[in-house]
Amino acid sequence: MFLEKDFIANLSSTSIEKGSFEWSAPSNIALVKYWGKKENQIPANPSISFTLNNCKTTTKVDFKKTIDGNFTFDILYEGEYKKEFVPKINHFFLRIEKYCSYINDYHFTIDTSNTFPHSSGIASSASGMAALAMSIMSLEKLLYPEMTDAYFYQKASFLARLGSGSACRSVKGNVVVWGNHEEISGSSDLFGVEFTSAIHSNFKNYQDTILLVDKGEKQVSSTVGHDLMHNHPYAERRFTQAHENLSKLKTVLASGNLDEFIAIVESEALTLHAMMMTSMPYFILMKPNTLEIINKIWKFRNETKTPVCFTLDAGANVHILYPENEIEKVFQFIKNELVGYCQNGQYICDEIGNGSQILT
């Protein structure tokens, strides 16, 4: 079992002068939601997610040794300097400095891009921080070649969490658990772990079509929303519910019971937003078209008996989840009845993926 101190790098020298790594890391969609956190990015409750395949961030990191004794960096988005990204990246480096002291020997040039529109309302912090963490760990692997693969990926997830909590679930695929849970072997608050229990064939290549309802900036950031759980009147019951739903979902993933899967996943999505609406101050991130889509999905499922359901992140966009063998029927439903509720008619087709990948 890894402890925080186990992730502190003890390197006597940083003999590598310069180099470059390029990684891609996907976004993920939580089935059991994480909402509320303790100090140092520790989750208040465990969560489980599908790792996506197509919605990903690609990040190239060039590093060059300096004599300054403090890390420095430039951050670019699609080759253009991105001033507004500087505070978040600087905060990330300050957080990981304790565990990766070697970063103070280098200047980093970070060039990142997304396969999805940057302002699409899809959170890119998870995929972006995961991709950056993978490159940092690739440098550490150069400096400490005896490192095991298991340690490499667990520390990468640990570092990604310090940049964005849910980023720790984007390092690996296909199904990832983050947070201590008594029924999940190896689960930890410090990093995400692959869900190694049985998964029924019903969930193989599970589909996620993301309807882009609102691409504007959220009125309340996720960080602020998490903080509002500290004095939330229903917080403790919610945290208990998350543990209970993760136990139920473990059984459902093994049995392949799609009706029970739908009930848990949709309840989790609505509970997440209920926590927002009952915090103080309260807020609503769903939009009218979000509700229109949800009602359309319920009507379609009831009339056709198609096992399709929705989930939501902390925003207005709707993730439609369904088995691979239902693609044709669900896609026709989306085109006929749901596209009109999307901003500029935009949606993204995705599915379960395998996690981060090294490119160069």
The per-residue pLDDT for 217 is 73
User: For residues 36 and 126, is the Cβ–Cβ distance under 8 A?
Assistant: no
Return per-residue pLDDT of the chain as tens, 360 residues.
788 999 999 876 778 999 999 999 999 999 999 999 999 999 999 999 999 999 999 999 999 999 888 999 999 999 899 898 999 999 999 999 999 999 999 999 999 999 987 655 565 789 999 999 999 999 999 999 999 999 999 999 999 999 999 999 999 999 999 999 999 999 999 999 999 999 999 999 999 999 999 877 777 888 899 999 999 999 999 999 999 999 999 999 999 999 999 999 999 999 999 999 999 999 999 999 999 999 999 999 999 999 999 999 999 999 999 999 999 999 999 999 999 999 999 999 999 999 999 998
- Determine if residue 84 is left, alpha or beta; phi over 0 gives left, psi from -120 to 50 gives alpha, anything else beta: alpha
Structural domains of the chain, ranges and CATH numbers in brackets? 4-198 (3.30.230.10), 204-351 (3.30.70.890)
Q: What are the structure tokens assigned to 242, written together? A: 């998350």
Q: Within 10 Å of residue 268's Cβ, how many Cβ atoms? A: 23
Cα dihedral across residues 254, 55, 150, 161: positive or negative = negative
What one-character-per-residue DSSP string does 324-356 give?
Answer: GGGHHHHHHHIIIIIGGGSGGG-EEEEEB--B-
Q: What is the pTM of this model?
A: 0.95
Cβ burial of 329 (10 Å; 0-12, 13-18, 19+) is middle
> What is the Cα–Cα distance from 327 to 104, expressed in whole angstroms?
49
CA–CA gap between residue 158 and residue 162 (Å, rounded): 7
Q: In this predicted structure, what is the pLDDT of residue 130?
A: 98
For residues 52 and 29, the answer to whether their CB atoms sit within 8 Å is yes
Tokens of 209: 């079509």
Q: Are 199 and 256 in contact (CB under 8 A)?
A: no
- Cα separation, 111 vs 65, whole angstroms: 18
CB 213 within 8 A of CB 80: no
Among candidate residues 115, 180, 135, 177, the one with its CA nearest the CA of residue 22: 135
Q: For residue 29, what are the CA distances in angstroms to 16, 81, 148, 261, 312?
A: 37, 29, 28, 14, 8
Question: Cα-flanking dihedrals φ and ψ of residue 349, to 5°?
Answer: -95, 125
Tell me which DSSP letter residue 145 carries: T
Instruction: Give the three-state DSSP class for 310.
Output: strand
Question: So what's the pLDDT on residue 97?
Answer: 96
First to last CA, the chain: 31
pLDDT at 338: 98
- The reported pLDDT for the residue numbered 23 is 98
User: How would you classify the pairing of strands 42-43 and 47-65?
Assistant: unpaired
Determine the Cα–Cα distance for residues 34 and 31; give it in Å rounded to an integer: 9
Tokens of 264: 């848990």
Cis upstream peptide for 174 (omega within 30°): yes
CA distance 257 to 262: 9
Residue 10 DSSP symbol: -
Residues 174, 324: Cα–Cα separation, whole Å: 15
Closest CA to 153 of 359, 358, 360, 13: 358
- Give the span between the Cα atoms of 115 and 133, in whole angstroms: 18
